Amino acid sequence: MNNNPYQPWLATIDDIKEEVGGERAIKTFKLVFQDKNIQNNFTYLPGQCAMVSLLGKGECFFAISSSPTKKDYIEVSVMKLGKVTSALHECELGDVVGVRGPYGNYFDVKGWQGKNLVFIGGGIGQAPLRSLINYVVDNRRNYGKLDVIYGARSSKDLSYKQEFAELEKRKDVNVHLSVDVEEDGWKKFVGFVPTNLLRVKPSPKNTIAITCGPPIMIKFVIQNLEKLGFTEDQIFTTLEMRMKCGIGKCGRCNIGNLYVCKDGPVFSYKQLKSLQGER
Amino acid sequence: MVDEKQLRDAVKKTISRDDVKYVVGYEKGTSGFLVSPTFAFTPGDADKFIFSPLCVNNLAVYPMLEDKPPLRKGEEPDTRKIGLVVKGCDSRAIVQIIQEKGLKREDVVIIGIPCTGVIDPKKIKEKFPGQMKNVDVKEENEKFVITIDGKIHKISKDELLAEKCKHCEYPAPVLYDILIGKEIKSTKKEDYKEIEPLEKKSLEDKWDYWEKQFERCIRCYACRDACPLCYCKECMVDLLDPQWIRRSVNLSENTAWNLLRAFHLAGRCIGCGECERVCPMDLPLMKLNKKIEKDIKEMYDYTSGIDAEEKPLLAMFKPDDPEEFIL
Amino acid sequence: MDKYVLPKDNLSKFVSEMIGKYKVFAPVNDNNVTLFKQIKNPKEINLEFTNSKVPPKNLLFCQTETLFKFTPGTKGKIHPVDFDNGGRTVFGIRPCDAKSLAILDRVFKGDFEDPYYLTKRKNTILVGLSCTQPCLNCFCTSFNDSPASPEFVDILLTDIGDKYFVEVNSDKGKQLVKTMNKLFKSATEADGKKKKEVEKKAKDIITRFQKIDGITEKLDKIFENPFWETVANKCLGCGTCTYLCPTCHCFDIQDETTMTDGGRVRIWDTCMISEYTLQASGYNPRPARMNRVRNRVYHKYNYYPKNFEVIACVGCGRCIDSCPVNIDIIDVVTRAGEVKP
């Protein structure tokens, strides 16, 4: 393995799925390391991240959105926002990117065995949850009841549509999709994700809630989870910051004395509450 | 000499107005000859305000540094005025910003100070090193009177005067709401003598000179951030896409930055010298600014920051503008 | 600790011998600014300085460093850089700056080792020079450090008149002295006494003092205090304090390319500018100067000590000397300690 943490391995884009179109499009890139050994040794858990780069454009820190149960590739879902992500969106099959990682901590998939899980996602925030959901579904018998709550501005803005369709077919996973405003042909819930959460009303008993999405959504989701009786150590979220190194050295992603890239990105609400610092 | 009581009264009066957010002036610094910008939010804060020949900073930078966080729903923008204590050169910065529509005249309350020249902080620090206790400095009969531990030092003004003051043609504020003391007239003339040796150098020697200077630049951008006229919302040096200047610190990129800064101030620099004062690497930035200022004066008979009603140089055209340099 | 003396007449020879073996960096005068630069001749050295303008951290954690080169584009290739494995010495480093390297070590070590810094660090011998004329804004003694402390260097030279008192503090230092043992003489008790006197005199010159008793805990309680607004109001938001700080280690990583080749470069960055934390979505967790000024102080006096049990300030005074608006860390921290939560 490479002992220079700044130097990425090269990976080839094996598949590109357009999840959402438009100005802030989202695409999922399937990446296969050029070196088989690297591919085999790149082991990670849901919640962990990778630095993906285009040579000449720069690097970005992404949650790995594929499940570790898939061994032959990794996936990242990328929203077109800045210089690097826009360039990534221009990429075609067979193009080469740099990848380094995996970085950061992960969801406690071992510790949560035997528990019910509620996933509450919004927009691109679904990416890290997708890794976790697919992991849990692939290890279905280790977990209790599963509720997946996910919403976006409109049905066009929902990511992973095909996968949700598959999930909805399963009897052992409850999927609750929503859009923010009413639209023709939408028969499911209309309203914000935190409201949908109150409607689904998961029981806090032996349950862990995991949420990721825009900061304002997370804020209200946590408020509503507390209303439902969830305690602060039953609530987990995964955060995002501007990052450069991914390994806790370049300085910018700190919340108080912790670095999101290294000590996060997964935090319990209990931890977050005790943590003083801008986020 | 500036009557500090009169100054404090003016600050008190200004901050007592409902339409004023705060007043920026000077207070004693944390050691020796240092003074520090200070903010009055209440009339009581005015008591710490001072003015002495040590007050070198150009406070006109502060209205342009205001953090403007996005407004919350239903929140009204704070349109209250900012009060500023200014010397002649500082007031020219405000005039120039108003010309460029960076500020409106009514955005500021200007407390003007007729300035007879300030001290170069580097020179005085060198003359009296290691001075911890705050030092009283006055001006009397063309001399700076410096009292250290009861001992009085009378030093000729020329020895300690900041370079910018040596040829200052506008010692009194060109625009003000309140004047502390009386109007004064300059007896000096800017003759651009300091840049003559540089002008006489061959092109090759000029490059050589500037390369030696720019090599040291650490790109901290203090020159930009201290400059009241460097107030672009997005400085091109920060842009990444497209990236005009690389972030690598080397002679080529440093040169690009320093020339860009100087040229962007062409016809706008009012000569307050803050860029050079704050440069931790002692780059002679005012030599660049002054050369451009001289060329502009010769070619267009234009002086920046004098009349708030006038248009900025680059926004006006006269049929007889020289144009030989246009290919 | 082995102790020797180096007659002043031998200093030039000592440096020359080092130049023969290593890359030698030493304080030089560049247009009246003292900087550490590589020297080829002992004559280039300027010992008439209190502290270099830019701290010698830049010799190990370079302001600009190419991490690797590449062929740019979507079919690109990576070309690793060679690490400079040659020996280096930093001659004339001050004890405070040497301590700052011990602070940077903790950042660049850890779970992910930074090969760029650590390779240079491993190959570098620090030949320190005691500070006998501390500046007005020096305050290393606030951290119980001494301007003549050999703790963080391999060899420390202290000017005791016609000779230097030499303290050898590490194996690296021992090796160096061994190879040039003709130049050194054993120290007498009187020499040791003289060094102590010089050290005491230097300490006595330091008059400024920062109150740091329990500062980490105190800061925990005043994060939201309006005090930080009053400190930050006058801040211009330039990066001078951070670039000149021997313990600041933030960096940016950028790809810089031409049509045919490129490099991924790391450049010093500063937490004092808004762009530092600005996210692509437009959201900025530290939008105001207050957030950024507070972050600088907290990083040094709260966050870093929580992670590594030592305050990330060595008291060199550079940020005070060069701040355009007199934001004075001695004053800020001392006053912060007195703020009522």
B213 with B128, same domain: the answer is no
Which residues of chain C have a CB within 8 Å of the CB of B65? 236-237, 289
Which residues of chain A have a CB within 8 Å of the CB of B241? 82-83
Length reported for chain C: 341
CATH (domain of A90): 2.40.30.10
Which residues of chain B have a CB within 8 Å of the CB of A82? 241
Over residues C61-80, the mean pLDDT reads 94
Cα A74-A77-A83 angle, rounded to 5 deg: 115
User: What share of chain A in percent tops pLDDT 90?
Assistant: 91
Q: Indicate the DSSP class of residue B270.
A: -
pLDDT of residue B327: 61
A44 with A142, same domain: the answer is no
pLDDT of residue C309: 93
Over residues B54-61, the mean pLDDT reads 97
Number of domains forming the structure of chain A: 2
A124 with A99, same domain: the answer is no
CA distances, C302 to each of C213, C271, C308, C320 (Å): 12, 16, 10, 20
- Range with the poorest average pLDDT among B75-79, B107-111, C78-82: B75-79
Does C230 sit within 8 Å of B226, measured CB to CB? no
pLDDT of residue C220: 94
- Give tens-digit pLDDT for A191-231: 999 999 999 999 999 999 999 998 889 999 999 999 999 99
Helix, strand, coil distribution of chain B in percent, nearest 5: 35, 15, 50
Does C287 sit within 8 Å of B36, measured CB to CB? no
Residue B112 included in any domain: yes
* Per-residue pLDDT at A2 exceeds 70: no
Number of domains forming the structure of chain B: 2
Residue B42 included in any domain: yes
A–C: how many Cβ contacts below 8 A? Answer: 131
pLDDT of residue B239: 87
Domain membership of residue B317 as a residue range: 190-327
Which residues of chain C have a CB within 8 Å of the CB of B213? 31
Domain membership of residue C300 as a residue range: 215-338
How close does chain B come to A74, measured CA to CA in Å?
Answer: 28
CB-closest option in C64, C233, C289 to B248: C64
| B32 part of contact set with chain C, CB < 8 Å | yes
Residue C252 included in any domain: yes
* Per-residue pLDDT at A93 exceeds 70: yes
Rounded Cα–Cα distance for residues B158 and B188 (Å): 13
Which residues of chain A have a CB within 8 Å of the CB of C70? 55-56
C222 with C185, same domain: the answer is no
Rounded Cα–Cα distance for residues B179 and A121 (Å): 61
ipTM of the complex: 0.93
Residue B73 included in any domain: no
Number of domains forming the structure of chain C: 2
A97 with A161, same domain: the answer is no
| B234 part of contact set with chain C, CB < 8 Å | no
Rounded Cα–Cα distance for residues C210 and C332 (Å): 9
User: What share of chain C in percent tops pLDDT 90?
Assistant: 92
Residue C210 included in any domain: no
Rounded Cα–Cα distance for residues A61 and A98 (Å): 12
Give the H/E segment covering residue C177: helix C171-179
| C67 part of contact set with chain B, CB < 8 Å | no
* Per-residue pLDDT at A1 exceeds 60: no
Mean pLDDT of chain C: 95
| B140 part of contact set with chain A, CB < 8 Å | no
C92 with C161, same domain: the answer is yes
- Give tens-digit pLDDT for B161-175: 999 999 999 999 999
- Look at residues B160, B189, B218 and tell me which one is the last residue of a structural domain: B189
Which residues of chain A have a CB within 8 Å of the CB of C268? none
Over residues B100-110, the mean pLDDT reads 96
- Give tens-digit pLDDT for C312-330: 999 999 999 999 999 999 9
Q: Which amino acid is at B143?
A: K
Which residues of chain A have a CB within 8 Å of the CB of B240? 58, 83
A17 with A131, same domain: the answer is no
User: What share of chain B in percent tops pLDDT 90?
Assistant: 81
Rounded Cα–Cα distance for residues C87 and A103 (Å): 33
Over residues B100-126, the mean pLDDT reads 95
Angle of the A215-227 helix axis to the A193-200 helix axis, nearest 10: 20
Domain membership of residue A18 as a residue range: 9-103
B213 with B184, same domain: the answer is no
| C69 part of contact set with chain A, CB < 8 Å | no
Residue C37 included in any domain: yes
Residue A205 included in any domain: yes
B157 with B207, same domain: the answer is no
- Look at residues C137, C172, C205 and tell me which one is the last residue of a structural domain: C205
Residue B279 included in any domain: yes
C201 with C244, same domain: the answer is no
| B192 part of contact set with chain C, CB < 8 Å | no
* Per-residue pLDDT at B321 exceeds 90: no
Tokens representing A75? 């996936």
Q: What is the CA radius of gyration of chain C?
A: 22
Mean pLDDT of chain B: 93
- Range with the poorest average pLDDT among B70-74, B277-281, C82-86, C256-260: B70-74
* Per-residue pLDDT at A3 exceeds 90: no
The A residues from 65 to 104 touching C (CB cutoff 8 Å) are 81-82, 85, 91-92, 95-98
B219 with B164, same domain: the answer is no
pLDDT of residue C256: 94
Residue C260 included in any domain: yes
Residue C155 included in any domain: yes
B232 with B96, same domain: the answer is no
pLDDT of residue A195: 95
Over residues B142-164, the mean pLDDT reads 93
Over residues A86-97, the mean pLDDT reads 96
B59 with B113, same domain: the answer is yes
- Look at residues A103, A132, A164 and tell me which one is the last residue of a structural domain: A103
Write down the pTM of the prediction. Answer: 0.94
Does A55 sit within 8 Å of C76, measured CB to CB? yes
pLDDT of residue B69: 75
Number of helices (H), then strands (E), belonging to chain C: the values are 12, 12
Closest residue of C to B61, CA-based? C236
C152 with C189, same domain: the answer is yes
A204 with A153, same domain: the answer is yes
CATH (domain of A186): 3.40.50.80
* Per-residue pLDDT at B326 exceeds 50: yes
A–B: how many Cβ contacts below 8 A? Answer: 4
- Look at residues B145, B167, B189 and tell me which one is the last residue of a structural domain: B189
- Give tens-digit pLDDT for C114-129: 999 999 999 999 999 9
A interface test, pick of C112, C117, C296 with most A CB neighbours within 10 Å: C112
| A205 part of contact set with chain C, CB < 8 Å | no
CB-closest option in A81, A252, A256 to C280: A81
